[in-house]
């Protein structure tokens, strides 16, 4: 269980700095350090167990279906990295305490830092590879925050985004790789994965997996060609560079390769990709580093090259190489972290990191200088320092490997060259900064840093020496277990001595030393040579390419979603056309077996009229009034058709809706132009005609095919139960108010909502004043015609009577609430037309909104009534209300429901028309005042 605390403590630690920030910097720093320190103790407590080779695992279930569980373990590799992460992390906390200025929010910085620490720790101690990926991505996110900590300068922002993009890409690739491994192995449990190496290597998907996993590793560890983001991550505060970009995060990729080494390595593919990438990175990094004038830039590229070195070792495939790799991981972490911190001190105390201005600092900060020089020497691989030992191992391994077949001899040679360059830039670091004359006008007067700011470096440099002198004693066991975990088996016996006798590796070191010295002292030539090449600024290139992508995306979207409804509608119809049309190709016989109705002259002429008027609507659609008239003719014939085909209710409804719709459209024409400009290009018209015609054809065909086929439907039930169950003889009406009353409830709700929405539309309408139609004819100012007003006044009661009649008989004969409602509305509208809005306002005091509301309410409550009797919503009261005396209750519920419908219809229709009509009149009133 204590294993979980190793992760949990730092996680809790992320909030500590935020809370303790206000108690001053030192307090905050110590509080922050407390929990990670505790975690480190817990880790160290496990050391004996790990050294005994016991498997230290703890697991909790999390998301079984995903194969994700909380699973923490400590094997040799995990132990090594855990110590690095926590140990160096603590030093960084101390260092940052002095490094950060008062302007920076210390709490926030520490919070990000600890968040990253947790994530990194999570990667290394994960026993479930999916969980490992989770933490992997968390390092990307937290490093984004850390790099952009000084987010006011644009380099920080850009650098952060670049790192995020590159590592994000890698992370997604890794996810794919991890899931593939999981699919093949059948589990994400590390033990299971590590034990199925052959299974994976022989699987067809192996190459894909290797490439995906390596994509993750290379992006994270800044391997060529993804190395470019690392130097720009140096925009981060130096503690971050020291921690993430030298000691830990960039090692995550290495860790990943080491973790999967037992299962993925051992094939030609792996060797070729990994070793070549490593070698290339090693050389490019070492060479570029020499030309960087920025201290941190130099260190960044040197990091790149050392990571390449480790990668190369992991690509060689010999167990000994793996040992060397692990050894160098440790050494590089130690000396590089200290170098970064030293660079930070120099930057902090002199105000610049430019080596062209820095020089002769020895005089001002001898102590720091000594430390930096020792560390740099270790980086160069000078004997008696840890860097030397792993470099010797490296050389030895380059000599006995054959991953490139007959070309294998190149590797040692190039390795020596690379090392020579690392010697050269180490020399430059030492010589340029601490010697070589006086510094040139530094922003600050340089002096030694505060005692405790230097302490971390003291410790690390001491380690460089001690490890360099007594390697076996100090880290022998750790190295052994870690390397053991990497090779996943027994290690070859090797000796960690300072002195291996005179041998090729030693010779190579000597060559590298002298070569490096030579290169450095003749650097001027090299610099002038390098100066011919324009320095490629990856940041700019990256920025440009991202901008390019975005620009073209934007261009594409503008072209594709060009805001033309006509295109959108066309595509919608086209898709429907395709999906409808293709099945019909298989429809051999259109006509079904159902006996068809004989044609007679009346129908024929009706059909002809229908067809003609529809066409006329299209042909004259630019003359809007005429189009409207034609449309009304169509509607009229449609309602006749309903009547003809035994649907009286539909006929009535269609008719009344028709009237209201036409009135509405006429009103609309008052506000809209009366004619449509001729703007569609002939091709557009042709296109639309074609697609419309084809679609119509398809619909017609389908319709014909359907209605000529027999149908076995559920409707008989309605005919049988309408009277007995619904208590009405008009089956359609019974369906509406009873069988499918729920639909009707929804339907009138739609009507009500529409009215509300329309009210909103009109209420906010900016008023414009069409005083004349488009041909300049002024709208008439006449009073409302006498005749009309007189007649309609007489008509109103009659109309109301009619609607009442239609309403009441609805349940048994054509009619019902809806039609009645429309008739009523039409009658009222007529009054508006006849007398004008104002006249009616005084007489007809109706708040249509309330009418709608009460209508809906009545309908709903009627439905709810049945609850009282323990029946579902909308159960009509008829079929169980047994007392014969009050038998008429049978109708009650249906009528009440229909009343709701009636009221809603009246309310909605009037709310719509009255409001709009009002506009027309107020408009004109105001207009006349203006004149």
Partner 1 sequence: MQHWAVLPILIPLLAGTLMLLPPLAGTIRRQRIASLVSLTLMLVGALVLFRLSTQATQLYVLGDWQPPFGILLVADRLSSLLVLLTTVLAIGAVLYSLAGDDNRGKYFHSLMMYQLMGVNGAFLTGDIFNLFVFFEVLLIASYALLIHGGGKQKTQANVHYIVLNLIGSAFFLFALGMLYGTLGTLNMAQMSTRIAGLTPGASILAEAGALLLLVVFGLKAAMMPLHFWLPKAYASASAPVAAMFAIMTKVGIYSIFRVHTVVFGEQAGDLAYIAIPWIWPMALLTLVIGAVGVLAAPTLRTLVANLILISAGTLLVAVVLLNTQAVIGGLYYLVHTTLVTGALFLLADVIAQQRGQASDRFVVSRPMKQAPLLGLLFFIGAVTVAGLPPLSGFVGKALLLQAAQTATEMGWVWSTILLSSLAVIIGLSRAGTNLFWHVSGNKTGTDNARPIQLIAIAFLLLASPALVIFGGPATEFAEAAALQMQQMYPEVQTLIAEGQP
Partner 2 sequence: MEAIFAFCVGLMTACGLFLTLRGRTFPVVVGITLLSYAVNLFLFSSGRLLINGATILGQSDQYADPLPQALVLTAIVIGFAMTAFVVILAIRARSDLGNDHVDGRNPPGAGLPSDRLKEKN
Q: Which residues in 790-829 contact partner 2 (CB under 8 A)?
A: 812-814, 818
| x/- letters, 515..554, toward partner 2 (CB under 8 A) | ----------------------------------------
Nearer to partner 1, 697 or 785 (CB): 697
In the complex with partner 1, the residue whose CB is nearer, 494 or 759, is 759
Q: How far is the CB of 211 from partner 1 (least distance, A)?
A: 13
The footprint of partner 2 on residues 559-588 (CB under 8 A) is: 563-566, 569-570, 573
Which 737-776 residues touch partner 2, going by CB under 8 A?
Answer: 739-740, 743-744, 747-748, 750-751, 753-755, 757-758, 761-762, 764-768, 774
Work out how close the CB of 832 gets to partner 2 at its nearest, in angstroms, rounded to a whole number.
16
Least Å distance, CB 207 to partner 1, is 13
* Identity of the residue, 714 or 885, whose beta carbon is nearer to partner 1 in the bound complex: 714
Residue 560 CB, shortest distance to partner 2, in Å, is 15
Report the nearest approach of partner 2 to the CB of residue 743 (Å). Answer: 5
3-state helix/strand/coil string of 510-562: HHHHHHHHHHHHCHHHHHHHHHCCCCCCHHHHHHHHHHHHHHHHHHHHHHHCC
Contact 289, 301 (CB under 8 A): yes
Q: Is 327 left (phi over 0), alpha (psi -120 to 50) or beta?
A: alpha
Are 893 and 730 in contact, with CB atoms under 8 Å apart? no
- Give the number of other CB atoms < 10 A from CB of residue 560: 8
CA distance 549 to 109: 33
Smaller CB distance to partner 2: residue 553 or 569? Answer: 569
Structure tokens at 477: 């066991």
| 768 binds, options partner 1, partner 2, none, Cβ within 5 to 8 A by partner type | partner 2
648 binding partner (options partner 1, partner 2, none; Cβ < 5 to 8 Å by kind):
partner 2
645 binds partner 2 (CB under 8 A): yes
Comparing CB distances to partner 2, the nearer of 397 and 658 is: 658
Nearest approach, Cβ of residue 659 and partner 2 (Å): 11
Indicate whether 51 belongs to the interface with partner 2 (CB under 8 A): no
Q: At what angle do helices 206-220 and 268-290 cross, to 10 degrees?
A: 20
Query: By CB under 8 A, what part of segment 865-904 binds partner 2?
Result: none
- Which of partner 1, partner 2, none interacts with 579 (beta carbon under 5 to 8 A by kind)? partner 1
**Residue 186 dihedral angles phi and psi, to the nearest 5°:** 90, 10
User: Least CB distance from residue 700 to partner 2, whole Å?
Assistant: 2
Region near partner 2 per CB under 8 A, out of 332-340, 459-467, 539-547, 649-657:
649-657
Ranges of beta strands (E only) in 541-646 are none
- CB-wise, 148 or 803, nearer to partner 1? 148
Q: Are 754 and 908 in contact (CB under 8 A)?
A: yes
CB of 817 to partner 2, least distance (A): 11
Name the minimum Å distance from CB 193 to partner 1: 16
Q: Which is nearer to partner 2, 553 or 754 (CB)?
A: 754
Query: Rounded distance, CA 706 to CA 712, Å?
Result: 12
Residue 61's binding partner among partner 1, partner 2, none (Cβ under 5 to 8 angstroms by kind) is partner 1
Q: Which two tokens stand for residue 290?
A: 């020499």
Beta-bridge partner residues of 71: 59
Q: Is 267 exposed, middle or buried (0-12, 13-18, 19+ CB in 10 A)?
A: middle
Nearest to 520 by CA among 416, 441, 612, 432: 432
Task: Compare residues 173 and 840 and give the one whose CB is closer to partner 1.
Answer: 173
Q: Which residues pair with 438 in a beta bridge?
A: none
Minimum CB distance to partner 2 smaller for 318 or for 701: 701
Number of residues that bind partner 2 (CB under 8 A): 117
Q: How far is the CB of 577 from partner 1 (least distance, A)?
A: 9
3-state class (DSSP) for residue 598: coil
Q: Please report, as residue ranges, which positions from 307 to 336 form the binding site for partner 2 (by CB under 8 A).
A: none
Site for partner 2, residues 613 to 632, rule: CB under 8 A = 614-615, 617-618, 621-622, 624, 627-628, 631
List binders of partner 2 among 437-476 (CB under 8 A).
none
Report d(CA 734, CA 816) in Å as an integer. 10
Residue placing its CB nearer to partner 2 in the complex, 457 or 912: 912
Burial 646-660 (b: 16+ CB within 10 A, else e): ebebbbbbbbbbbbb
Instruction: Provide the minimum distance between the beta carbon of 704 and partner 2 in the complex, in angstroms, as a whole number.
Output: 4
Question: Cα(926)–Cα(931) distance, rounded to whole angstroms?
Answer: 9
What does the CA dihedral 885, 886, 887, 891 come to, rounded to 10 degrees?
170
Report the residue number, 172 or 657, with the smaller CB distance to partner 2: 657
Question: How far apart are CB 855 and partner 1 at their closest, in Å?
Answer: 9
Taking Cα atoms as reference points, which of 319, 304, 521, 283 lies closest to residue 413?
A: 283
**Separation CA 56–CA 6 (nearest Å):** 13
Determine the Cα–Cα distance for residues 469 and 325; give it in Å rounded to an integer: 19
User: Which residue in 127, 121, 119, 177 sits closest to 145, CA to CA?
Assistant: 119
- 190: its two tokens: 């590390």
Q: Residue 488 or 725: which CB sits closer to partner 1?
A: 725
Nearer CB in complex with partner 1: 409/742: 742
* Binding to partner 2 in span 827-866, by CB under 8 A: none
Nearest 10 degrees: CA dihedral of 782, 788, 790, 794?
Answer: -150
Which residues are paired to 126 by β-bridges? Answer: 72
Nearer to partner 2, 702 or 795 (CB): 702
Helical axes 538-560 vs 154-185, angle rounded to 10°? 70
Q: Taking CB within 5 to 8 Å according to partner kind, which of partner 1, partner 2, none is near residue 338?
A: none
Site for partner 2 contains 604 (CB under 8 A)? yes
What's the CA gap between 622 and 685, in Å, rounded? 13
Dig out the tokens for 653 from the structure.
């409804």
Decide whether 144 or 642 has the Cβ nearer to partner 2.
642
Give the residue among 74, 20, 65 at the shortest CA–CA distance from 45.
74
In the complex, least distance from residue 732 CB atom to partner 2, rounded to whole angstroms: 5
63 binds, among partner 1, partner 2, none (CB under 5 to 8 A by kind): partner 1
User: Looking at the chain, how many residues does it have?
Assistant: 931
User: 672-731: which residues touch partner 2 (CB under 8 A)?
Assistant: 672-673, 675-680, 688-689, 691-693, 695-701, 703-704, 706-708, 711, 713-715, 718-719, 722-723, 729-731
648 binds partner 2 (CB under 8 A): yes
Distance (Å, whole) CA 111 – CA 140: 15
**CB of residue 867 vs partner 1: minimum separation in angstroms?**
7
CB of 464 to partner 1, least distance (A): 36
Q: Are 827 and 794 in contact (CB under 8 A)?
A: no
Q: Rounded to the nearest 10 degrees, what angle do helices 366-380 and 319-350 cross at?
A: 150
Nearer to partner 1, 63 or 689 (CB): 63
Contact partner at residue 137 from partner 1, partner 2, none, CB < 5 to 8 Å by partner kind: partner 1
Partner in contact with 644, chosen from partner 2, partner 1, none, beta carbon below 5 to 8 Å by kind:
partner 2
Cβ count near 304 (within 10 Å): 27
Rg (the chain; Cα; Å): 43
- Spell out the residues 6+ positions from residue 621 whose beta carbon is closer than 8 angstroms to its own: 627, 676
Residue 617's binding partner, choosing from partner 2, partner 1, none, with beta-carbon cut-off 5 to 8 A by kind? partner 2
Cβ at position 634, least distance to partner 2 in Å: 6
User: Residue 172's beta-bridge partner residues?
Assistant: none
**Sole window of 72-80, 260-268, 863-871, 905-913 interacting with partner 2 (rule: CB under 8 A):** 905-913
């Amino acid at each position: 269980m204590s294993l979980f605390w190793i992760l949990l403590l730092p996680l809790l630690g992320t909030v500590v700095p935020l809370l303790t920030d206000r108690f001053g910097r030192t307090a905050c720093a110590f509080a922050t350090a407390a929990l990670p320190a505790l975690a480190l103790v817990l880790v160290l407590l496990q050391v004996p167990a790990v050294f005994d080779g016991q498997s230290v695992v703890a697991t909790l279930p999390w998301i079984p279906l995903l194969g994700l569980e909380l699973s923490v373990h400590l094997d040799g590799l995990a132990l090594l990295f855990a110590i690095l992460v926590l140990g160096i992390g603590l030093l960084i906390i101390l260092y940052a305490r002095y490094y950060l200025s008062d302007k920076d929010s210390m709490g926030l910085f520490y919070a990000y830092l600890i968040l990253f620490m947790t994530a990194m720790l999570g990667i290394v101690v994960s026993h479930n590879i999916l969980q490992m990926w989770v933490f992997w991505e968390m390092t990307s996110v937290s490093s984004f925050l850390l790099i952009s900590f000084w987010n006011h300068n644009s380099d920080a922002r850009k650098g952060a985004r670049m790192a995020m993009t590159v590592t994000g890409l890698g992370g997604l690739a890794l996810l794919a790789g991890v899931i593939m491994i999981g699919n093949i192995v059948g589990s994400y449990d590390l033990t299971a994965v590590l034990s199925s190496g052959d299974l994976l290597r022989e699987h067809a998907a192996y190459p894909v997996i290797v490439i995906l996993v390596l994509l993750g590793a290379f992006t994270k560890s800044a391997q060529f060609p993804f190395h470019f983001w690392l130097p720009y991550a140096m925009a981060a505060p130096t503690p971050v560079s020291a921690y993430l970009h030298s000691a830990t995060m960039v090692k995550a990729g290495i860790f990943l390769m080491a973790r999967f080494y037992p299962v993925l390595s051992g094939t030609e593919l792996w060797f070729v990709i990994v070793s070549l990438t490593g070698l290339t990175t090693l050389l490019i990094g070492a060479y570029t580093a020499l030309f960087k004038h920025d201290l941190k830039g130099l260190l960044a590229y040197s990091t790149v090259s050392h990571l390449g070195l480790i990668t190369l070792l992991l690509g060689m495939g010999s167990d000994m190489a793996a040992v060397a790799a692990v050894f160098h991981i440790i050494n590089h972490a130690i000396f590089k972290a200290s170098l970064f911190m030293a660079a930070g001190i120099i930057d902090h105390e002199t105000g610049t990191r430019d080596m062209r201005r820095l020089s002769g600092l020895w005089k001002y900060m001898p102590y720091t200088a000594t430390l930096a020089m020792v560390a740099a020497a270790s980086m160069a691989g000078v004997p008696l320092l840890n860097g030397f030992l792993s470099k010797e191992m490296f050389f030895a391994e380059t000599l006995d490997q054959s991953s490139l077949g007959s070309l294998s001899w190149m590797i040692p040679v190039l390795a020596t060259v690379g090392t020579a360059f690392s010697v050269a830039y180490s020399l430059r670091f030492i010589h340029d900064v601490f010697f070589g004359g006086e510094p040139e006008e530094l922003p600050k007067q340089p002096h030694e840093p505060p005692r405790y700011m230097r302490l971390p470096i003291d410790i690390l440099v001491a380690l460089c020496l001690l490890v360099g002198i007594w390697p076996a004693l100090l880290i022998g066991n750790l190295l052994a277990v870690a390397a053991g975990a990497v090779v996943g088996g027994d290690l070859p016996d090797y000796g960690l001595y300072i002195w291996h006798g005179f041998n090729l590796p030693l010779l190579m070191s000597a060559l590298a030393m002298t070569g490096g010295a030579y290169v450095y002292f003749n650097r001027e030539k090299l610099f002038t040579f390098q100066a011919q090449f324009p320095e490629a600024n990856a940041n700019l290139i990256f920025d440009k390419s991202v901008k390019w992508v975005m620009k073209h995306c934007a261009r594409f979207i503008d072209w594709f979603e060009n805001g033309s409804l006509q295109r959108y509608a066309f595509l919608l119809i086209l898709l429907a056309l395709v999906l409808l049309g293709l099945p019909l190709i298989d429809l051999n016989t259109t006509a079904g077996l159902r006996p068809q109705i004989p044609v007679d002259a009346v129908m024929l002429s009706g059909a002809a009229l229908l067809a003609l008027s529809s066409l006329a609507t299209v042909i004259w659609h630019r003359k809007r009034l005429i189009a409207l008239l034609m449309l009304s003719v169509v509607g009229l014939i449609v309602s006749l058709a309903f009547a003809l085909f035994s649907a009286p209710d539909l006929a009535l409804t269609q008719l009344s809706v028709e009237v209201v719709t036409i009135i509405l459209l006429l009103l609309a024409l008052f506000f809209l132009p009366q004619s449509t400009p001729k703007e569609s290009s002939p091709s557009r018209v042709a296109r639309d005609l074609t697609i419309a015609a084809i679609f119509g054809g398809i619909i017609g065909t389908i319709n014909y095919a359907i209605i000529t086929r027999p149908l076995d439907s559920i409707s008989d039930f309605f005919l049988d139960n309408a009277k007995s169950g619904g208590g009405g003889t008009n089956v359609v009406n019974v369906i509406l108010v009873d069988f499918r009353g729920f639909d009707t409830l929804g339907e009138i709700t739609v009507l009500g909502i529409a009215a509300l929405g329309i009210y909103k539309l009109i209420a906010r309408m900016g008023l414009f004043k069409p005083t004349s139609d488009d041909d300049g004819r002024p709208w008439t100012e006449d009073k409302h015609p006498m005749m009309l007003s007189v007649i309609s006044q007489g008509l109103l009661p009659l109309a109301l009577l009619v609607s009442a009649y239609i309403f009441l008989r609805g349940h048994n004969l054509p009619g019902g609430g809806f039609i009645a409602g429309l008739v009523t509305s039409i009658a009222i509208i007529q009054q508006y037309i006849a007398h004008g809005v104002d006249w009616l306002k005084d007489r007809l005091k109706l708040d249509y909104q309330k009418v709608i509301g009460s209508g809906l309410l009545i309908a709903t409550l009627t439905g709810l009534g049945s609850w009282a009797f323990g029946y579902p919503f909308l159960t009509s009261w008829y079929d169980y209300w047994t007392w014969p005396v009050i038998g008429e209750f049978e109708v009650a519920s249906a009528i009440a429901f229909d009343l709701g419908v009636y009221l809603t219809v009246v309310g909605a229709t009037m709310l719509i028309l009255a409001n709009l009509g009002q506009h027309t009149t107020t408009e004109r009133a105001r207009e006349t005042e203006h004149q």
